[in-house]
Structure 1
């Protein structure tokens, strides 16, 4: 292709909805040669951001086993839902805006700023002397977490070339997701042998280590950026779409509150829940209209929403995180309620899933770097997830160890193979200023996926219990079993009725894995949308491919 004809490939009809914001800066981007990080500095950067991702995911699940002790100390059973939702809601509401921060300011310092807010929230939680103080701390930690995953991926994009990122992302996500599935084990250990406060205090010394690793390490940017004072003085209001944020945040909060309240204190057809859903939809409609009007400066630009790879990767990430959250909550419930294991032993029983996930995440990342293509790992991971979750739905009170360990391993291999695919796909498909915004869209989809599908899983499980106990143990009081909790129902059920209740419990948990199998099938569909593109292709060849 001639040099004169090549630019026409990147031109499109000008429109505020699909305009390419990088076109006007193409000469500057072409002249800028990134300085990649190598050697000891690279090890320090990868170690630092891996620890941050690990802490962020650990914090999402570690509180689950500490909640009983917290509610006992504060007499706050009515606040249980807020311990998780305060974190999720504040994180989801801020995530799209974080893309703007990483686009215009130093990635390293913005990342450390968000992490410092997370650490402050952890300190407040650890020192909490009331339930309200704990909820405030969780909300502050969630605000900090909103920019942590996006920041880790932005730092990685500036530190290593695209062909080396899959292996690095495999390490980061493989180790990071150990926090998500290992959270209940760590929380159970602290709660049993020390105090629940260490579930939050442990973030502080690890945070100090992260600071030591990153503060004195040079982290290059993906492209040149103006001094922060210039952005704040001349372009902050124009570039950051604060009106869009003011619309998006309450819409997200209303949606997540509706999902949190539904079936927990309010019926799904109550005026409160329906009002929250209606308010959320109406505000989202106004937000979309505003974003369309704003064009390329929008918080979520239309040309990225219409980009098939970005959209498919975001939806794929939503499905992955949705099933991951459901798995991390309900597999320990199976071991602790149906198999009568302690929190610590149930964490040990999750090792087949954890280890297989870690191994496959690293292997798939390294092979993607070597071979170039990531789509096959997305397809393979979705297939393994679907089969593994289908088999997990057959768990019973008497399932043998080799069987449940094998089922867990399948899911672990699948999740390890697919977890990095949406991140690599977006970084390989989007360039310039759009990378930070696209990554923020993906992490926002992750958070919503976890919140939405965990709520759906709770509804499925509760309805399953109400339907199965009358079927298998008609003489048992269903509401008494539910009120007693996942591990306390053995005290309210007679020895004669217990085997039937255990069957009902296992089948209800099996229904949650039906949901996970469906999400895995959705992963299979969306995985094909990430594009048959290679991370090893040169810049000119990739431009032709677009």
Structure 2
């Protein structure tokens, strides 16, 4: 009698040879839907900037301003690594729609909030939703088109999504001025509904491991839960939150040497050590698979993405509008218009990079060009002053926008060395690096700016009250400084802003350095296009 056959593994991965991509109107509908959602996510990040003054006036909550952004970022960063596991073992379309629903629910709670505490809860829920949306959008695109076509699609979605950053202050200012700030969040509901409807009625090819016909639903659910590394998430989430809170509080709410800040950072470090030991024990089922991260292409892409988004993109995104409003004295609406050269060039270079990458095949040169552009532009921005001409800051932004040529390279790089069922986790690691790196760099930039402003104001304008200036905000400097002292105060403000761009200068150099490790792989198709490819 022959030996009994082993029980079938309920988790099976479809092979690449049997994979059929979508094409034509279906592909267009998918790209349009995920692009709209990517736009909404970045819009939601920036639209609140011009609404916060009115929100704090309605809720009398000026002390809660930091939490309006922190709750959103902390929730997003804490859940992001888990999203990769969810997309690996669950169907990408429905997982994406679930995250979109959570984001929409958070937006609704923000819109109907009756207190500052309720608003903060809404921001946290919205952040949980965003944690899986970007990864989900890229996962859906990866399932919809072959590798050699993905750079253009990634560049398209990323570039148009970036428009949300510039339209945020413009739209937020207009809505807040002519209607109510609540529509800054209500606007997400109909837009998300349009994107959801388009996806619901489109069949998306699926790469996640699938249920074997001999397995029951309960058996599949049990298997999936065992693969999600929930214990790892329970260790990682509080470690990430404590670390980011330590950076958020340090130098602003509490001194760096305070027991609160030291306790948060030490606690985060200790819990992270326990988390890494647990991840090593979990092996391939870990939320942060160490064998995957150990691949040079993966960890280099994670670092490259962290420096690009955190040190170059986010620092310029946040501090250029502050320069225009605080030093140049323009309105929030006009400051949004003034950053159009950056956004426009980013859009052009990202699309161009996607097209050229498909023809050239090698992505490392594009990553290095993007890093070089970020280095040069950050160096130029570090010279900003009240007398900087329009031609100068427009030119600087155009150079900065060239960084878009390498904006999709990290996502492409990890896909060249990972198996189809590893791609979602790999992309989640890269996106987490962006979010976590952004939080770190913005915290450091905030410390540089605040400490420099306090020091230079006391030097240039003796007798001024830095606390009064901080309370007045970026656009209120002219209300708390006398006309005689205004030139010196503006000079202090401009120098403090310019010093934050030293982070971008250092990051640009590190982008070039880490690009070498992303791998010289040719992504061009090695065979004729098969039926079913886009």
Question: Matches of residues 221-370 of structure 1 in structure 2 within 5 Å?
Answer: 221-222=206-207, 225-226=210-211, 229=217, 232-322=220-310, 323-370=312-359
Question: Matches of residues 405-420 of structure 1 in structure 2 within 5 Å?
Answer: 405-414=394-403, 416-420=404-408
Q: Is the 8 A contact 2:12 2:211 kept in 1?
A: no
Give how far 1:60 is off: 1.6
Q: Equivalent residue for 1:17?
A: none
Change (3 A) 1:233 1:381: closer
Residue deviations 1:373-418 (CA, integer Å, cap 9, x gap): 111110001001110111111111111111110001100112x112
Tell me, yes or no, if structure 1 residue 68 matches structure 2 residue 56. Answer: no
Residue deviations 1:337-363 (CA, integer Å, cap 9, x gap): 100000111111111001000000000
Q: Equivalent residue for 1:14?
A: none
For 1:224 and 1:251, how far apart are their aligned partners in 2?
30
Give how far 1:218 is off: 0.8
User: Secondary structure of the residue that 1:221 maps to in structure 2?
Assistant: coil
Give how far 1:55 is off: 1.0
Residue ranges of structure 2 left out of the alignment (5+ in a row): 1-8, 528-534
Give how far 1:426 is off: 1.2
Q: Is the 8 A contact 2:10 2:211 kept in 1?
A: no
For 1:29 and 1:538, how far apart are their aligned partners in 2?
20
Tell me, yes or no, if structure 1 residue 505 matches structure 2 residue 493. Answer: yes
Q: Equivalent residue for 2:467?
A: 479
Give how far 1:434 is off: 1.2
Tell me, yes or no, if structure 1 residue 423 matches structure 2 residue 428. Answer: no
For 2:68 and 2:309, how far apart are their aligned partners in 1?
19
TM-score, normalization: structure 2? 0.93
Tell me, yes or no, if structure 1 residue 447 matches structure 2 residue 432. Answer: no
User: Secondary structure of the residue that 2:498 maps to in structure 1?
Assistant: helix
User: Secondary structure of the residue that 1:220 maps to in structure 2?
Assistant: coil
Q: Equivalent residue for 2:530?
A: none
Residue deviations 1:6-26 (CA, integer Å, cap 9, x gap): xxxxxxxxxxxxxxxxxx999
For 2:77 and 2:510, how far apart are their aligned partners in 1?
22
Give how far 1:93 is off: 0.9
Q: Is the 8 A contact 1:32 1:224 kept in 2?
A: no
Q: Is the 8 A contact 1:312 1:530 kept in 2?
A: yes
Tell me, yes or no, if structure 1 residue 185 matches structure 2 residue 174. Answer: no
Deviates further, 24-33 or 61-70? 24-33
For 2:200 and 2:95, how far apart are their aligned partners in 1?
12
Question: Matches of residues 499-538 of structure 1 in structure 2 within 5 Å?
Answer: 499-538=487-526
User: Secondary structure of the residue that 1:534 maps to in structure 2?
Assistant: coil
Please, which of 368, 378, 384 is the counterpart of residue 367 of structure 2? 378
For 1:201 and 1:158, how far apart are their aligned partners in 2?
31
Q: Equivalent residue for 2:447?
A: 459
TM-score, normalization: structure 1? 0.91
Give how far 1:297 is off: 1.0
Give how far 1:148 is off: 0.4
Q: Once superposed, what is the RMSD of the aligned Cα atoms?
A: 1.8
Q: Equivalent residue for 2:388?
A: 399
Q: Is the 8 A contact 2:11 2:209 kept in 1?
A: no
Deviates further, 477-486 or 435-444? 477-486
Runs of 4+ in structure 1 displaced over 6 angstroms?
24-28
Give how far 1:485 is off: 1.6
Question: Matches of residues 80-229 of structure 1 in structure 2 within 5 Å?
Answer: 80-222=65-207, 225-226=210-211, 229=217
Instruction: Report the number of matched residues.
Output: 515
Deviates further, 426-435 or 145-154? 426-435
Q: Is the 8 A contact 1:338 1:505 kept in 2?
A: yes
For 1:99 and 1:134, how far apart are their aligned partners in 2?
28
Deviates further, 347-356 or 315-324? 315-324
Change (3 A) 1:420 1:284: same
Residue ranges of structure 1 left out of the alignment (5+ in a row): 1-23, 540-546
For 1:230 and 1:36, how far apart are their aligned partners in 2?
30
Give how far 1:185 is off: 2.4
For 1:158 and 1:98, how far apart are their aligned partners in 2?
16
For 2:88 and 2:106, how far apart are their aligned partners in 1?
25
For 1:214 and 1:442, how far apart are their aligned partners in 2?
25
For 1:30 and 1:125, how far apart are their aligned partners in 2?
44
For 1:282 and 1:135, how far apart are their aligned partners in 2?
28
Deviates further, 215-224 or 358-367? 215-224
Change (3 A) 1:531 1:470: same
User: Secondary structure of the residue that 1:487 maps to in structure 2?
Assistant: helix
